[in-house]
Amino acid sequence: MLKKLGVAAAALAIGALAAGSADAAGKKTTIALIPGLTTDAFYITMHKGAQAAADALGDTLIFQGAPDFNPVTQVPVLDAVIARHPDVILIAPTDKVQLIQPLQKAFQAGILVITVDTFIGNGHYQTGAGTGDFPLSYVASDNILGGQIAARALAKSVGDKGKVYVSNVKPGVSTTDQREEGFKSEMKLHPGIQVLETQFNDDDANKAASQLQSVLARNPDLAGVFGANLFSALGAANGVKQAGAAGKVKVAAFDAPKSIVEPLKTGLVDIAIAQHPAEIGYFGVIAAHAAFNGQSIPVNIGTGFTVMTKENIDDPQVNRYLYSD
Ligand code: T6T
């Protein structure tokens, strides 16, 4: 009987604690997460991290996005979300310039805006400097550094000489622009390497694969390619495979869907740079909740990378960063 009472008292205490901590956590916040596109493993993983933080805080998370990575389809989704008037919008803007004005509408409606993964304007927020500086925070990987890491790895695997190029999405996307910038700046330190013209694939892996084959046809001595995001990388790797050039044309991949494991193991892909999208989602929600509750928040929240290779991909501390799908 005593034991039973003890358990009941403990349960009551835990209940009180939970209620107390919910109060201490502040007002429940309704947060809308708008990804770059809904079907990309990167954003699916970000959603999971965001949901984990929302559950911990008792917040409501709405996930609403477009089927492709394109401002033309993202802006109507944003307008629909603004009409629902959440407390905070977390968004991965699909263009640095084209999302400024549509996001100003959210800001003017009194909705707090935080960007995740990508930024608008020059990415420097709360400076008072310009039309695109109103978001409260930018939660993301260091994409210039990511491009530099890819360049160093690719330079090593091509033996510091030969022709390489960047397979990229399209100009105007902050993340992939910065990866290309970091890649090219690092390659300047490798004078034996010639960086050919960037090929833009509109986030279409099939296009990236056929571009690889055209570049290789024009440059039979092509030594390597950097796929600057998930679809660019998978597409470029497929192009190498279809051309029968596996191992001859080296591949450095940005992003880490589960389908990168096999190409890493067979040597088709030399290195994959995994971002930590769950971390971006988690800390995005924490920042949203804090800001809505009147706390000041960091203007930049930087998240990490995990570099994956054939040698380390079976290590659970590494492969836990493979994206969910
Ligand atoms: O690389 C990620 C993301 O960081 C980028 O902004 C867009 O492409 C991905 O979603 C991968 O497909």
Shortest-distance Cα residue to atom 12 of ligand 1: 230
Amino acid identity of residue 189, one-letter, is L
Q: Whose CA is nearest to atom 10 of ligand 1?
A: 42
Q: Where are the domains of the chain?
A: 2-135+276-304, 143-274
Q: What is the pLDDT of residues 212-226, one digit of tens each?
A: 999 999 999 999 999
pLDDT tier for residue 23 given thresholds of 50, 70 and 90:
low
Instruction: Look up tokens 């201490």; give the residue.
Output: 24
* % of residues, the chain, pLDDT over 90: 91
* CA of 43 relative to ligand 1 center, distance in Å: 8
Query: What pLDDT, on the 0 to 100 scale, is given for residue 319?
Result: 98
DSSP 258: G
Q: Where are the alpha helices (DSSP H) in 194-305?
A: 205-218, 230-242, 261-266, 277-292
pLDDT in tens, 186-214: 999 999 999 999 999 999 999 999 999 99
- Which are the contacts of 53, defined by CB distance < 8 A and separation ≥ 6? 59, 281, 282, 283, 284, 285, 286, 289
- 129: confidence class by pLDDT, cuts 50, 70, 90: confident
pLDDT of residue 16: 34
Look at ligand 1, atom 7, and give the residue with the nearest C-alpha: 229
Nearest-5° Cα angle at 237, 232 to 239 = 95
This prediction's pTM: 0.92
Could you give the CA distance from residue 146 to residue 97 in angstroms, rounded to a whole number? 22
Phi/psi of residue 164, nearest 5 degrees: -135, 165
When pLDDT is cut at 50, 70 and 90, the band that residue 296 belongs to is very high
Question: Beta-strand (E) ranges in 51-170?
Answer: 60-63, 88-91, 112-116, 138-141, 162-168
Question: Which residue from 79, 71, 31, 76 is spatially nearest to 283, judged by alpha carbons?
Answer: 31
305 lines ligand 1 (CB under 6 A): no
- The fold of 143-274 is Rossmann fold (3.40.50)
- The tokens of 5 are what? 């009472």
Q: How far is the CA of 297 from the centre of ligand 1 (A)?
A: 24
Q: Which tokens belong to 1?
A: 């009987």
| Sign of the four-CA dihedral 144, 150, 156, 159 | negative
CA distances from 249 to 128, 187, 258 (A): 47, 17, 22
40 lines ligand 1 (CB under 6 A): yes
243-270 mean pLDDT: 98
For residues 158 and 139, give the distance between their C-alpha atoms in angstroms, rounded to a whole number.
Answer: 33
- For residue 109, give every residue at least 6 positions away whose Cβ sits within 8 Å of its Cβ, in sequence order, or none: 82, 85
Superfamily of domain 2-135+276-304: Response regulator (3.40.50.2300)
Going by CA atoms, what residue is nearest to atom 5 of ligand 1? 175
| Residue 10 predicted with pLDDT over 70 | no
Asked whether the beta carbons of 277 and 43 are under 8 A apart, the reply is yes
Number of Cβ within 10 Å of residue 254's Cβ equals 30
Q: Counting atoms of ligand 1 from 1, which one is nearest the CA of 229?
A: 1
Of 324 and 21, which is predicted with more confidence? 324
Say what the pLDDT of residue 24 is: 64
Whether 285 and 57 have beta carbons less than 8 Å apart is answered as yes
Nearest atom in ligand 1 to the alpha carbon of residue 35 is: 10
Confidence (pLDDT) at 193: 98
CA 92/CA 174 separation, integer angstroms? 10
Residue with CA closest to ligand 1 atom 1:
229
Same fold: 2-135+276-304 with 143-274: yes
pLDDT band at 25; cut points 50, 70, 90: confident
For range 15-41, the mean pLDDT: 76
Pairing of strands 250-254, 222-227: parallel
Is residue 295's pLDDT more than 70? yes
Please give the structure tokens belonging to residue 134: 């109103």
Kindly list the distances between the CA atom of residue 182 and the CA atoms of 9, 166, 175, 228, in Å, as whole numbers in the listed order.
Answer: 58, 11, 11, 11
Residue 163 has pLDDT above 90, yes or no: yes
